A and B are shown apart, each in its own frame.
Chain A
Amino acid sequence: DQQVKQNSPSLSVQEGRISILNCDYTNSMFDYFLWYKKYPAEGPTFLISISSIKDKNEDGRFTVFLNKSAKHLSLHIVPSQPGDSAVYFCAARGGAGGTSYGKLTFGQGTILTVHP
């Protein structure tokens, strides 16, 4: 039972354009969502997060949108740069009152390639 899904295994974007990475979840008890970036031979690096009580959070070129009714979140990168090429994971944290309290559940990851 995959509670967090990233349905696009890969995404290819031209430098300077917008990259949109998507993530869907099924557990309504998730209270916090995070995006991580991972380069080969390194551990994931925290990128940006959003609380379930918000619908948007922005940090420089990165914006995360949360649509609770659709159980969907997305990460927008504008403008995309070649250095953004990496694997992006979305993760959801179990909220209080649920069986997954405090646990992070990760999606499968999306490989983003930004072409110069």
Chain B
Amino acid sequence: KAGVTQTPRYLIKTRGQQVTLSCSPISGHRSVSWYQQTPGQGLQFLFEYFSETQRNKGNFPGRFSGRQFSNSRSEMNVSTLELGDSALYLCASSLSQVALGTQYFGPGTRLTVL
């Protein structure tokens, strides 16, 4: 069974731009969560989508948004990029909501904001 895939793997943007990251969960998984990993903060939860609905949200500004499609694929969007948004963005999928299942992570998208 294929694992979680994320595209693109690497991205370079400049301040003020916006970016969209994509995540395809493991086949059959309906929950997708997004995390930001930085050296200083570790992994921080962004949000979780289940059945196309945002079920949970972390403490990030409104510039960070996401959505989930009917095939469970998810996208994350960051608008008006700031230097501090440079990070590894990880997507994780699970069969059911995080509250009920174990998550499986993708390899991440490395975003660099110049």
Contacts and interface: CB of A to CB of B under 8 A. Distances in A.
Given A89-B42, A103-B58, A45 B105 contact: yes
Given A41-B107, A43-B107, A43-B108, A104 B4 contact: no
B99 A102 contact: yes
Given A43-B105, A46-B104, A101 B92 contact: no
B45 interface: yes
Interface residues of B, number: 23
Contacts, number: 52
Q: How large is the interface on A (under 10, 10 to 19, 20 to 34, 35 or more residues)?
A: 20 to 34
Interface of A is mostly: strand
Nearest to A6: B42
20 contacts: A43-B92, A43-B108, A45-B105, A89-B43, A96-B99, A101-B99, A102-B56, A102-B98, A102-B99, A103-B45, A103-B48, A103-B98, A104-B98, A104-B103, A105-B45, A106-B35, A106-B42, A106-B44, A106-B45, A107-B42
Contacts of A41: 107
A104 B45 contact: yes
Contacts of A45: 105
A102 B106 contact: no
A22 interface: no
